Amino acid sequence: MILTVDVGNTQIKAAVFEGDTILERFVFDKKALEKKIEKILEKFETIAHLVVSSVAYVEKQSFLAFEDKVKVHFVSNEDSFPFSNNYGTPKTLGIDRMVLAAGATLLYPNQNRLIIDAGTCVTYDFVDENNVYQGGAIAPGLRLRYESLNQFTAKLPLLTLQSPESYIGKSTAESIHSGVVNGLVYEIDGFIDEYKAACTKIIIILTGGDADFLAKRLKNTIFANSNFLLESLSQTFQYKIKND
């Protein structure tokens, strides 16, 4: 049994895996980290490995504190991955993006793959059918868009996520919801259209905290799986064990 932990810039996601099956999934914030891990390890006594991928500031010690109970692994850019990397700056490629690319490569062999992760940022990652990671894009996520409109203007309020009625906003609030939500939806659909035009066959995976909210609003029908990063983390770990 393994415990995978994904430390994002907004929140921490974790899942207990028995083989490829998720037994339980957890979402919590950084402040709760050690207490949560302790509770999970108490509940699932047969967890042998703790596999961590982090793009945010958390002390390694918060995980190493459990070394007497489990083997702790921090996935890093130096690990072996099932794709070759054509990114210009491979050392600065986010480890979450590398893990997503690895998961897509292993779970969807011999095809072009686009992974869209709608979290704090919206990241796009493309691994081609020859298992070459080619790159993608980084854009602000939904929450970040609402917050930056508020932070960088004098007059715009901070609103919480709400589905716009129409693309024509009839008030300040409606205009913001339309700009943020419809803007991101059109953006994602636009990227998908570009990739589809360039590749005859491509699998597209949408993940992240806003995946379900966005999936039903896209013009393109695509598969939303909010557990894809955790599943990819489990795949990456299994790959590493086999190849080390």
Ligand X SMILES: CC(C)(COP(=O)(O)O)[C@@H](O)C(=O)NCCC(=O)O
Annotated binding residues for ATP, as ranges?
6-13, 120
What distance in Å separates the CA atoms of residue 52 and residue 140, rounded to the nearest whole number?
Answer: 24
Which of these is catalytic: 29, 79, 96, 244? 96
User: Who's near 182: CB < 8 A, 6+ residues apart?
Assistant: 164, 167
Of 119, 124, 176, 222, the one binding ligand X (CB under 6 A) is 119
**Binding footprint of ligand X, residue count (CB under 6 A):** 14
Could you list the residues known to form a binding site, using ranges: 6-13, 87, 94-97, 117, 120, 172
208 scored as a contact of ligand ADP (CB under 6 A): yes
The answer to whether the beta carbons of residues 49 and 71 sit under 8 Å apart is yes
The residue sitting closest to ligand X, measured at its beta carbon, is 94
What distance in Å separates the CA atoms of residue 232 and residue 102, rounded to the nearest whole number?
Answer: 7
Q: Token pair for residue 187?
A: 């953006």
User: Who's near 222: CB < 8 A, 6+ residues apart?
Assistant: 192, 204, 205, 206, 215
* Catalytic residue list contains 29: no
Phi, psi of 194 (to 5 degrees): -60, -50
Between 47 and 96, CB nearer to ligand X: 96
CA distances from 115 to 96, 110, 138, 210 (A): 11, 15, 12, 14
Interface of this chain with ligand ADP, residues 106 to 125, rule: CB under 6 A: 119-120
The partner in contact with residue 138, picked from K ion, ligand ADP, ligand X, none with C-beta cut-offs of 5 to 8 angstroms by kind, is: ligand X
141 scored as a contact of ligand ADP (CB under 6 A): yes
93 scored as a contact of ligand X (CB under 6 A): yes
Residues with catalytic roles: 96
Q: What does the binding site for ligand ADP look like in residue numbers (CB under 6 A)? A: 8-11, 119-120, 141-143, 161, 208-210
